[in-house]
């Protein structure tokens, strides 16, 4: 079993989750069960899959969960681009989240390559 709480990719994922929960507050009420729900779920999925994978015995299984985390990071990027396109949240908040998310994608990709 690995200590996921020491991983930078998990820590950054937790920062992203916190920022996403702040940003979705700006979405229109009509998106409460649509984009808001999808965005928070994919953000939460990033650190959650890293944590879940750390409990797996085989390296192959661990890698699979980290890859799922990467997929969630790319899904989140798409949602944030929609926020940006629709001007639903402050530009600074969306720009910060996009930067964090793209950094996270690179870090997760690097981590996968080392596994």
Model confidence over 43-73: pLDDT tens digits? Answer: 999 999 999 999 999 999 999 999 999 999 9
Q: Exposure of 101 by Cβ count < 10 A (0-12 exposed, 13-18 middle, 19+ buried)?
A: buried
Handedness of CA 44, 94, 73, 3 (dihedral sign): negative
Model confidence over 74-84: pLDDT tens digits? Answer: 999 999 999 99
Give the pLDDT of residue 97: 98
CA 63 – CA 30 distance, rounded (Å): 37
Q: Is the pLDDT at 1 greater than 90, yes or no? A: no
Q: Domains (ranges, CATH) in the chain?
A: 4-114 (1.20.1440.60)
Q: Is the pLDDT at 91 greater than 90, yes or no? A: yes
pTM: 0.94
């Amino acid at each position: 079993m690995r200590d996921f709480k020491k991983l930078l990719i998990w820590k950054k994922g937790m920062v992203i989750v916190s920022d996403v929960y702040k940003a979705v507050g700006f979405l229109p009420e009509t998106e409460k069960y649509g984009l808001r729900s999808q965005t928070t779920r994919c953000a939460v999925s990033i650190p959650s899959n890293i944590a879940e994978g750390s409990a797996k015995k085989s390296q192959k299984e661990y890698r699979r969960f980290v890859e799922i985390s990467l997929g969630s990071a790319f899904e989140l990027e798409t949602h944030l681009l929609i926020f940006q396109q629709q001007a639903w949240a402050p530009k600074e908040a969306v720009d910060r989240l996009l930067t964090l998310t793209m950094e996270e994608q690179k870090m997760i990709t690097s981590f996968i390559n080392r596994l």
